Amino acid sequence: MTTRRLVLTRSAALVGAASTGLLLPEIVRAQSSKIRVGLMLPYTGTFAPLGVAIENGFRMAIEQQGGKIGGREIEWFKVDDESDPSKGVENASKLVQRDKVDVMVGTVHSGVQMGIQKVARDSGVLSLIPNAGVHAATRGLCSPNVFRTSFSNSQPTLALGKPMMERGLKKTVWITWKYAAGDEAFEGFRDGYTKAGGTVIKELGLPFPNVEFQALLTEIAALKPDAVACFFAGGGAVKFIKDYAAAGLKDKIPLWGSGFLTEGVLEAVGPAGDGIMSTMHYSDSLDTPRNKEFRLAYAKMFRQQPDVYGVQGYDTGLLLVQGANAVKGDLSNKQALYKAMESTTIDSPRGKWKMSKSHNPIQDIYLRRVENRENKVIGIAAKQLEDSGAGCKMA
Site for ligand PHB, rule CB under 6 A: 108-110, 131-134, 153, 181, 233, 260
- Give which of 187, 177, 192 is closest to 154, Cα–Cα: 187
CB of 235 to ligand PHB, least distance (A): 11
Choose between 162 and 281: whose C-beta lies nearer to ligand PHB: 281
CB of 117 to ligand PHB, least distance (A): 12
Choose between 35 and 233: whose C-beta lies nearer to ligand PHB: 233
CB of 253 to ligand PHB, least distance (A): 23
Please report, to the nearest 10 degrees, the dihedral formed by the alpha carbons of residues 239, 243, 245, 248 taken in order: -170
- Rounded Cα distance between 65 and 74, Å, is 12
How many Cα atoms occupy the beta-carbon half-sphere of 82 within 13 Å? 8
Enter the DSSP assignment of 372: T
Cβ 123 vs Cβ 248: under 8 Å:
no
Choose between 137 and 326: whose C-beta lies nearer to ligand PHB: 137
CB of 284 to ligand PHB, least distance (A): 16
Choose between 244 and 282: whose C-beta lies nearer to ligand PHB: 282
Question: In the sheet where 74-80 sits, what is the strand order?
Answer: 74-80, 35-41, 103-105, 126-129, 146-148
Q: What pairing do the DSSP bridges indicate for beta strands 277-280 and 361-371?
A: antiparallel
Choose between 45 and 323: whose C-beta lies nearer to ligand PHB: 45
CB of 50 to ligand PHB, least distance (A): 6
Choose between 165 and 181: whose C-beta lies nearer to ligand PHB: 181
Find how far residue 63's CA is from the centre of its chain. 20
